[in-house]
Amino acid sequence: MDVISIFEIPILCARLDLDVSSIEQYCLEYQRNKPGRIASNAGGYQSEDIPEKLVWGLPRLILEIEKYCNSFAETFAFDHTVKLDNLWININGHKDYNVSHNHPASVFSGVYYVKTPENCGNIIFENPAELMEYSYALLRKKEHNQFNCVQHWRKAEANLLYVFPGWLKHRVEPNLSNEKRISISFNVC
C-alpha cells in the first residue's frame, strides 16, 4: 500500500541576524509620526503601506526578504524573480490580535517578528481544505498530523521570518503580554 501526499503547502521559516533593537525603534518612531489603518487588526496599530522613500531604516530586512522569497520561489519551480511589493508595521498591545485573512494578488506574503514578549500570540495558518473541519471535527484522533489538522501554529519569535503563499489564510492570536508585539508584514509579487 502507498500513501501519497498531494497539494502540499510549504512555509519558509528563517532566523535572521538583524539588529532588532534599531528596527524596533524605527517601528515605534513610525507609529508616532504616521496614522494607522484598520485592516485585519482588532486593536493595535497597523501602518499604511510604507512608501519606498521611508524604508530608510529597513534596507537589510528588505534584502533578506527578497533573498529568502526568491529562494522559496525555487520550491515552487517559478521561473521569474519575485520582488517586494509592499510592507507595513504591526504593533499589538494587550489583547490585540489579527483576524483570519489572506493576501490576494500576491505570490507570497510574510511576517518578520521584531519584538515578541512571552505570551504575545502565535501565527495560526488555516487549512484551505475547509470542508475537512466539518468531516473530521467529530472524529477522535490519536494525534494531530498534516492529514487531519484544520490549523497549524508557528511561534512568534524575534528575528524570525515566515514566508507563505499569499492565498493561505492566517490569523494572529491575542497578545496576552503587557508588552507590545511588533512585526513587519509584507507581500511579494
Digit-coded pLDDT (tens) for 82-100? 999 999 999 999 999 999 9
Q: How confident is the model at residue 59, as a pLDDT? A: 93
Q: How confident is the model at residue 57, as a pLDDT? A: 83
Report if pTM > 0.75: yes
All structural domains of the chain, each given as residue ranges with its CATH number in brackets, are: 12-188 (2.60.120.620)
Rounded to an integer, the average pLDDT of 135-160 is 82
On whether the CB atoms of residues 124 and 173 are closer than 8 A, the answer is yes
Report CA dihedral (158, 159, 163, 169) to the nearest 10 degrees.
Answer: 10
Question: In what order do the strands lie in the sheet containing 12-15?
Answer: 12-15, 160-165, 108-115, 181-188, 84-92, 45-46
Which amino acid, one-letter code, is at 3? V
